[in-house]
Amino acid sequence: MKHSLRNRIKTAAVASCLLGAGALAPQAQAAGDDPISGIHAGDVLVRLRAISIVPNVETNQSLSALNVGVNNAIVPELDLTYMIRDYLGVELILGTSRHQLTSSLGNLGGVNVLPPTLLLQYHFNHAGSIRPYVGAGLNYTLFYNNGLNAGGQPISITNHSFGPALQAGVDVQVTKSLFVNADIKKIWMHTDASLGGQSLGRLNIDPVVVGLGVGMRF
């Protein structure tokens, strides 16, 4: 009887330990699980930012003599990134802004700028929740809705340009699909201006673009 009772106690103790371990295992696994799994090949990242566009203006010929400048702008920006590798993505940036041109003669009017930009990005720490990245690519700028004039005469400009673009930024994962983003870009763009068929020179805008926003991973 004593041996039987002792065996029953041992059996109950072992069963209790096994049941306890079985109950605690899912909890331990859940506690150790990271709900943020980073980014991987095939993921699509969609970001919406508020961006500040700060032109770095350079001019020549008559535009320099008139001290022509371009004002800043704050606008929304949308970008789409497709991850072709865990650490490598291709990003298309979309946004448009309107800028006023100033000079020593006064306001010269405004023009809209649409600069779609394609960038190849390298993402550091792609499996983590804080993921810096750098990018480089090509910018195509379309100038449209030209309202520039001087003394009542329209100023003509070339309506497009190509140039390089550089980028650096960071994504910080908040949930499995939502993240916040900070980003800075340097974009090279230019246009040539003329008045009454006479060249006024080249206007290099070359803005620095600083953005803050949110993103979703799909």
177-211 pLDDT tens trace:
999 999 999 999 999 999 999 999 999 999 999 99
**Which residue in 107, 114, 117, 85 sits closest to 183, CA to CA?**
117
Residue appearing with tokens 């946004």: 95
Residues forming beta bridges with residue 171, ordered by sequence position: 131, 181
pTM score, whole prediction? 0.80
Residue 151 has a pLDDT of: 84
Q: How far is CA 113 from the centre of its chain?
A: 18
CA 47 to each of CA 43, 51, 79, 98, 169: distance values in angstroms, whole numbers, following the listed order: 13, 12, 5, 22, 12
Residue ranges of the chain with pLDDT lower than 50?
A: 1-33
Structure tokens at 34: 């990271």
Residue 46 has a pLDDT of: 98
